[in-house]
């Protein structure tokens, strides 16, 4: 008998599939319902690795499943091919980043084909193609027109190693996400996208995704946007002709503000210091130098020793006219709220730590011992003075952050927190000194990069400093060749040195002007790529709104949790912008999201340096594509990490050989009548057909594989020691196994399908509907008695109801005969096992 030879099967089917194009989605006459299943596209950093293999195996289960359900499934792939690694590799090897990038793309593409990922290869794209990035430039111009792209000078995160600006999202624990160097601060004029205009929508629309996105990702997005609700309060500054506004989430504590703190690196602090004494100016300058050395993370660490300096200036509390001193301290951040706070040391721990260190007054205004439901404050002056026990924060060092009733607060006294907040906002609004306000943690999206390998920003700088958008018909602005350019990072874009490229005529009058030399963050490229797949070769527009109407949003997005914040947030933002511009009719790009886990080895991430790297190509050579893919799906729930040391692709390969052998033992004809087959095996097949869809749709791929294994065993038993290979049920089971396996192990499934006498491809064979009459699992024999004597037995479901069982008894000819013409006195029904009919006489 022939042996299962995965290598031969792979070599045989690859060219046949290339020919058949079973996953093409370009037929306008296709009437199947549509599904858009998208895997996050890879960065071409080398050959595919185990992580890709997991992601693409799982995404493919979903895509292949929906095809078996009769859907026209869009499942495209491309490359996120701009970015730093290509540029760094190019610098290291002295080659053009294109060379490195496109060689890697070729390699990944051929690996994906061998891996039998069911992509529509006609829709391939690479973001570093001018045909693609032309539309990044178009998108930029649209945002610019809308006032959503702007330039501003600001302190930016600067990686001294990569010599480039980083978005906040790319700074992890104060270090560069890519190279792990400590990130510094530097002042630069940069391009930003105004994502903060969309903060509320980005937050509120997350509600739509509840249940179809992982809860963890929704929470991460919410925290990243970080909406705080409270009030803005305006303070007059003595000797200054302007007000200072603070943002507070606790306007109810306004009577307890005993000083004000401003961020030392804010314009406001500089202005306040400038108007102060020479001594203050000097100490401020010294303090600022010291502050600039600390990282954002250090500054946000609430437990860090407080530092600060008095500015010798005073603010007036608008609610009671109190005069409070102004300090500069680095626990207040320049770019959050208004960069200034009203300090309420009795009720805020950071303010308390600061007050106690510098001897500033502490005033309790919330009686946290008074039950919120009670009426009268119960903290007395004596209690505050009493020791021990005391709750006085100035003594305990613990701020009273809990709820209670207001005290020492004039018109607010006795109110609960919520009512006090409402009341104080009313009072401030009436006086014109404050208002309800919201603040976000989300910052605008810094998109300029001082690197070569990215999309050039389509702006021209006139000699007069005017910013002129490049006329749309001049797009794309393509990157110049790297020849003669020094790509080594220097803090300025290498494009600035490409004299012929950067010097252009001013579109207004032809006078000499300069191109913007920066390139875009690659997250711009990936923020809309799912739309480009719908018509990747259209050179007249970014995407066709009609195609978007047909296919988008993406029904199922699959990818790593590493993209839970940045990429998803940016794609959601750009989708909303495109909605506002009228290009799409939906506001969320990805209707459902699946995050696969990581592939580990011996409990830790694989890496060359750890020496625990498992090479995908070795695994594929040793066990075959199908076995590796099946292992990925069988390892556990897809969200969980897979430890490659704990799984067995060799066992998967053995199982596939077992399944494959069944197809050689089926001797019946493809046209055989199913209903003549062995009932027990048919029941198991139809239970499998019935349960399969629910298992895939709830991502229980591993359970479905286990069910396939059971079915293979049962079919083998039926062949060897049951009705034999000629039985119709054996064919029915083996065909169901081939279709089931087509989701996980496309090569062996195709081979089985052919051996069963069918034409390729099994990928479109269709998932058969279960016959409901075969879904009664184990049946039970119920006994039907007349006057205590057994007259009949019937097969029933274990869940048969009293009424059904009684009706079955009444319908039994044997029972009827036994009753004869007599009158029925009493019927006892005990489902599922017994009916006893007692007659009169």
Positions touching ligand ANZ (CB under 6 A) are 228, 247-250, 253, 263, 332-333, 336-337, 339, 341-342, 344, 347-348, 439
Supply the minimum distance, in Å, between the C-beta of residue 23 and ligand ANZ.
48
255 vs 452 by CB, closer to ligand ANZ? 255
167 vs 420 by CB, closer to ligand ANZ? 420
350 vs 716 by CB, closer to ligand ANZ? 350
- Distance from C-alpha of 385 to C-alpha of 199, rounded to nearest angstrom: 46
344 vs 756 by CB, closer to ligand ANZ? 344
**What is the DSSP secondary structure assignment for residue 773, as one 8-state letter?**
G
608 annotated ligand binder: yes
Q: How many other CB atoms sit within 10 Å of the CB of residue 217?
A: 18
357 vs 802 by CB, closer to ligand ANZ? 357
Supply the minimum distance, in Å, between the C-beta of residue 529 and ligand ANZ.
34
Supply the minimum distance, in Å, between the C-beta of residue 332 and ligand ANZ.
4
Residue 798 corresponds to which tokens in the numbers above? 């274990």
Torsion (CA) 607, 609, 611, 614 in degrees, nearest 10: 20
Pairing of the two strands 599-601 and 78-79: unpaired
Backbone angles phi and psi of 232, in degrees to 5? -100, 135
Map residue 224 onto helix, strand or coil: helix
- Distance from C-alpha of 2 to C-alpha of 120, rounded to nearest angstrom: 33
Supply the minimum distance, in Å, between the C-beta of residue 594 and ligand ANZ.
32
Q: Assign 3-class secondary structure to 589-633.
A: CECCEEEECCEEECCEECCCCCCCCCCHHHHHHHHCHHHHHHHHH
Supply the minimum distance, in Å, between the C-beta of residue 535 and ligand ANZ.
44
Who's near 495: CB < 8 A, 6+ residues apart? 452, 456, 479, 480, 485, 501, 502, 515, 517, 518, 519
> Are the CB atoms for 123 and 536 separated by under 8 Å?
yes
**What is the DSSP secondary structure assignment for residue 321, as one 8-state letter?**
-
Element (H, E) at 686: helix 679-697
Torsion (CA) 57, 62, 68, 72 in degrees, nearest 10: -110
400 vs 475 by CB, closer to ligand ANZ? 400
Here the contacts of 495-501 (C-beta below 8 Å, separation 24 or greater) are 495/452, 495/456, 495/519
Supply the minimum distance, in Å, between the C-beta of residue 295 and ligand ANZ.
15
Supply the minimum distance, in Å, between the C-beta of residue 226 and ligand ANZ.
7
- Distance from C-alpha of 705 to C-alpha of 354, rounded to nearest angstrom: 61
- Distance from C-alpha of 37 to C-alpha of 764, rounded to nearest angstrom: 16
Supply the minimum distance, in Å, between the C-beta of residue 350 and ligand ANZ.
7
Supply the minimum distance, in Å, between the C-beta of residue 573 and ligand ANZ.
21
Supply the minimum distance, in Å, between the C-beta of residue 420 and ligand ANZ.
12
Here the contacts of 506-509 (C-beta below 8 Å, separation 24 or greater) are 506/460, 506/462, 506/463, 506/468, 507/460, 507/468, 507/470, 507/471, 508/462, 508/466, 508/468
Supply the minimum distance, in Å, between the C-beta of residue 257 and ligand ANZ.
7
249 vs 816 by CB, closer to ligand ANZ? 249
- What stretches of 510-554 adopt beta strand conformation (E)? 512-515, 519-520
**What is the DSSP secondary structure assignment for residue 280, as one 8-state letter?**
H
Supply the minimum distance, in Å, between the C-beta of residue 330 and ligand ANZ.
9
335 vs 639 by CB, closer to ligand ANZ? 335
Map residue 826 onto helix, strand or coil: strand
263 vs 752 by CB, closer to ligand ANZ? 263
Edge to edge, the sheet with strand 780-786 lists 789-796, 780-786, 834-839, 824-830
String of DSSP letters for 471-490: PGGG---PPPPSTT---S--
Of the candidates 696, 749, 739, 729, the residue with the CA atom closest to the CA atom of residue 17? 749
Supply the minimum distance, in Å, between the C-beta of residue 267 and ligand ANZ.
13
73 DSSP β-pair partners: 35
Q: How many other CB atoms sit within 10 Å of the CB of residue 212?
A: 15
Supply the minimum distance, in Å, between the C-beta of residue 265 and ligand ANZ.
11
Backbone angles phi and psi of 323, in degrees to 5? -100, 115
Who's near 491: CB < 8 A, 6+ residues apart? 158, 163, 450
Dihedral sign for Cα 512, 517, 519, 520, please: negative
Of the candidates 592, 649, 651, 593, the residue with the CA atom closest to the CA atom of residue 623? 649
Supply the minimum distance, in Å, between the C-beta of residue 334 and ligand ANZ.
7
343 vs 632 by CB, closer to ligand ANZ? 343
349 vs 816 by CB, closer to ligand ANZ? 349
347 vs 791 by CB, closer to ligand ANZ? 347
- Distance from C-alpha of 350 to C-alpha of 307, rounded to nearest angstrom: 11
250 vs 661 by CB, closer to ligand ANZ? 250
Of the candidates 298, 287, 363, the residue with the CA atom closest to the CA atom of residue 328? 287
End-to-end CA distance of the chain: 71
10 vs 253 by CB, closer to ligand ANZ? 253
Pairing of the two strands 604-605 and 512-515: unpaired
- Distance from C-alpha of 613 to C-alpha of 498, rounded to nearest angstrom: 41
> Are the CB atoms for 505 and 513 separated by under 8 Å?
yes
301 vs 803 by CB, closer to ligand ANZ? 301
Here the contacts of 147-150 (C-beta below 8 Å, separation 24 or greater) are 147/194, 148/193, 148/194, 148/197, 148/577, 149/191, 149/192, 149/193, 149/194, 149/447, 150/191, 150/192, 150/194
List binding-site positions: 608
List binding-site positions for ATP: 608
């Amino acid at each position: 008998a022939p042996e299962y030879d995965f290598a031969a099967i792979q070599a045989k089917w690859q060219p046949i599939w290339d020919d058949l194009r079973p996953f093409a989605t370009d037929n306008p006459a296709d009437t199947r319902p549509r599904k858009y299943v998208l895997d996050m596209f890879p960065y071409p950093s080398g050959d595919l690795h185990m992580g890709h293999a997991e992601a693409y195996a799982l995404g493919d289960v979903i895509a292949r499943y929906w095809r078996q359900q009769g859907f026209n499934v869009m499942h495209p792939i491309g490359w996120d091919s701009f970015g730093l690694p290509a540029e760094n590799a190019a610098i290291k090897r002295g080659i053009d980043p294109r060379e490195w990038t496109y060689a890697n793309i070729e390699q990944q593409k051929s690996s994906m084909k061998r891996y039998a990922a069911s992509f529509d290869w006609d829709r391939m794209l690479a973001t570093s193609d001018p045909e693609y990035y032309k539309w990044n430039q178009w998108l930029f111009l649209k945002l610019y027109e809308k006032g959503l792209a702007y330039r501003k000078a600001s302190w930016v995160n600067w990686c001294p190693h990569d010599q480039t600006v980083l978005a906040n999202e790319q700074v992890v624990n104060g270090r560069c996400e890519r190279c792990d160097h400590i990130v510094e601060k530097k002042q630069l004029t940069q391009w930003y996208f105004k994502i903060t205009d969309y903060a509320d929508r980005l937050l509120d629309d997350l509600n739509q995704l509840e249940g179809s996105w992982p809860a963890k990702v929704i929470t991460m997005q919410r925290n990243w946007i970080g909406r705080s609700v409270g009030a803005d309060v305006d303070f007059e500054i003595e000797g200054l002709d302007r007000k200072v506004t603070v943002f507070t989430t606790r306007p109810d504590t306004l009577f307890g503000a005993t000083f004000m703190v401003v961020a030392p690196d804010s314009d406001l602090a500089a202005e306040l210091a400038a108007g102060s004494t020479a001594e203050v100016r000097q100490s401020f300058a010294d303090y600022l130098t010291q502050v600039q050395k600390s990282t954002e993370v250090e500054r946000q660490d609430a437990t860090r020793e407080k530092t600060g300096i008095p500015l010798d200036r005073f603010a007036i509390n608008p609610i009671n006219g109190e005069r409070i001193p102004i300090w500069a301290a680095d626990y207040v951040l320049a770019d959050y709220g208004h960069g200034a706070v009203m300090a309420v040391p009795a009720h805020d721990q950071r303010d308390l730590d600061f007050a106690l260190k510098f001897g500033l007054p502490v005033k309790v205004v919330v009686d946290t011992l008074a039950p919120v439901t009670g009426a009268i404050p119960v903290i007395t002056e004596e209690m505050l003075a009493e020791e021990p026990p005391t709750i006085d924060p100035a003594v305990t060092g613990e701020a009273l952050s809990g709820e209670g009733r207001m005290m020492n607060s004039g018109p607010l006294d006795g109110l609960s927190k919520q009512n006090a907040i409402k009341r104080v906002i009313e009072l401030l609004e009436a006086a014109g000194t404050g208002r309800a306000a919201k603040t976000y943690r989300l910052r605008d999206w810094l998109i300029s990069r001082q690197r070569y390998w990215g999309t050039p920003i389509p702006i021209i700088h006139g000699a007069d400093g005017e910013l002129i958008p490049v006329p749309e018909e001049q797009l794309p602005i393509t990157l110049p060749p790297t020849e003669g350019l020094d790509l080594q990072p220097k803090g300025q874009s290498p494009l600035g040195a490409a004299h012929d490229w950067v010097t252009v005529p001013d579109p207004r009058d032809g006078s000499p002007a300069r191109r913007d030399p920066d390139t875009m963050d690659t997250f711009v490229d990936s923020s809309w790529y799912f739309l480009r797949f719908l018509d990747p070769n259209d050179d007249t527009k970014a995407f066709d709104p009609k195609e978007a109407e047909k296919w988008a949003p993406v029904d199922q997005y699959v990818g790593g949790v590493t993209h839970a914040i940045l990429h998803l947030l940016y794609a959601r933002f750009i989708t909303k912008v495109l909605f506002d511009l009228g290009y799409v009719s939906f506001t969320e790009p990805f209707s459902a999201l699946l995050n696969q886990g990581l592939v580990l080895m011996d409990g830790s991430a694989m890496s060359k340096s750890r020496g625990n790297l498992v090479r995908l190509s070795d695994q594929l050579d040793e066990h075959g594509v199908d076995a590796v893919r099946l292992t990925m799906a069988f390892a556990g729930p897809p969200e969980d990490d897979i430890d490659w040391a704990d799984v067995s692709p060799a066992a998967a390969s053995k199982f596939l050989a077992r399944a494959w052998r069944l197809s050689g033992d089926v001797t019946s004809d493809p046209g055989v009548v199913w209903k003549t087959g062995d009932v027990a095996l048919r029941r198991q097949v139809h239970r499998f057909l019935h349960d399969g869809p629910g298992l895939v749709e709830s991502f229980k791929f591993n359970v479905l594989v286990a069910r396939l294994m059971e079915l293979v065993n049962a079919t083998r038993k039926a062949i060897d020691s049951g009705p034999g290979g000629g039985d119709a049920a054996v064919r029915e089971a083996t065909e169901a196994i081939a279709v089931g396996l087509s989701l996980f192990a496309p090569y062996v499934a195709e081979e089985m399908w052919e051996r069963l006498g069918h034409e390729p491809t099994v990928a479109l064979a269709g998932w058969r509907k279960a016959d409901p009459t075969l879904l009664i699992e184990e049946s039970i024999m119920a006994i039907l008695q007349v006057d205590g004597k057994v007259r009949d037995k019937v097969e029933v479901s274990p869940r048969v109801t009293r009424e059904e069982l009684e009706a079955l008894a009444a319908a039994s000819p044997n029972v009827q005969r036994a009753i004869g013409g007599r009158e029925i006195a009493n019927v006892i029904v005990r489902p599922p096992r017994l009916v006893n009919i007692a007659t009169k006489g």
